[in-house]
Amino acid sequence: TGKQAIISAFNVSFAIKDSLEFVHRRFSFRPEPDPYCQAKYTFCPTGSPIPVMKDDDVIEVFRLQAPVWEFKYGDLLGHLKIMHDAIGFRSTLTEKNYTMEWYELFQLGNCTFPHLRPEMNAPFWCNQGAACFFEGIDDSHWKENGTLVLVATISGDMFNKMAKWVKQDNETGIYYETWTVQASPKKEAEKWFESYDCSKFVLRTYEKLAELGADFRKIETNYTRIFLYSGEPAYLGNETSIFGPTGNKTLALAIKKFYYPFKPHLSTKEFLLSLLQIFDAVVIHREFYLFYNFEYWFLPMKPPFIKITYEEIPLPNRKNRTLSGL
């Protein structure tokens, strides 16, 4: 098979995962970003601490969704159903509104593909994602081409407990992952790798609120997902074992060759050439190198190779209905 051929050529041993799905790794702290990593658009420019609400306050919870990069491209990506998700809150005591979202510190491209720096042997990743909380909800931004809809009402006490969870979640889940990788488009297909992005933060927050006793309305909620389709992934190693002094030079070169067409700041001519190179690697040669949990994996790609979906993931059911006596 293609996978066996590539592994044989690199002379590497590989491991197939034991369970149906890899778990996104949690970390004990968030590292300081490398100065090399620079955001084109400042992360969370108006961010503020999450306020402490009065326990008896009534907080409205809103589902927020708008096309990715709407501030630059309007509804263009909305037509492709490439959407960004966030959560809104409104205190009925103070009548103040708040927005909470989770996104990339250095934009999506940097989280998806590395930089190939001449002075470094290994690919260099500018990949972090984090929560951003700020006062106010930009109604026009969310309503014009997206969604601003009430999904639940919670108490101030529940909000405060959620805020403590957000802090812990934000400090331990620090890296963005664009791709969901599974064996086929079928719902029952084996899932190899799960994404970790803005929508997953919203879904985790909804689950936490349900755990705390929130009742969610019965409305349809869809989310953008970007899938890669492949056979069983093959484990290749980490940065040291591949790119270190005693690493596999053939494999190291192949990984860097794969990532080269994805480099930033291309001219139109370079971009078109890069698309051809990417098509050749992913579709013709059916190869993809994935960096996940600080490890490199080889994906033997198969049709339809890549797909963007906008699928329903229902709002959660209240978890402690019995315990609350309701």
Residue among 79, 84, 111, 141 flagged as catalytic: 84
Query: Is 198 labeled as catalytic in the residue annotation?
Result: yes
Residue among 111, 126, 132, 198 flagged as catalytic: 198
Give 108-130 as a DSSP string. Answer: HHHHHS-B--TT-SS-B----EE
Cα–Cα distance for residue pair 221/165, rounded to 1 Å: 23
Peptide bond into 303 cis (omega under 30): no
Q: Looking at the chain, how many residues does it have?
A: 326
Helix (H, G, I), strand (E, B) or coil at 183: coil
Nearest residue to 258 (alpha-carbon basis) of 280, 273, 235, 227:
280
Query: Is 44 labeled as catalytic in the residue annotation?
Result: no
Judge contact between 289 and 259, C-beta under 8 A.
yes
CB atoms within 10 A of CB 138: 16
The CA–CA distances, whole Å, from 164 to 47, 58, 158, 188, 208 equal 17, 18, 10, 35, 11
Judge contact between 226 and 108, C-beta under 8 A.
no
Judge contact between 289 and 296, C-beta under 8 A.
yes
CB atoms within 10 A of CB 24: 16
CB atoms within 10 A of CB 267: 8
Judge contact between 124 and 168, C-beta under 8 A.
no
Structure tokens at 279: 């098509």
Supply the residues annotated as catalytic.
84, 198
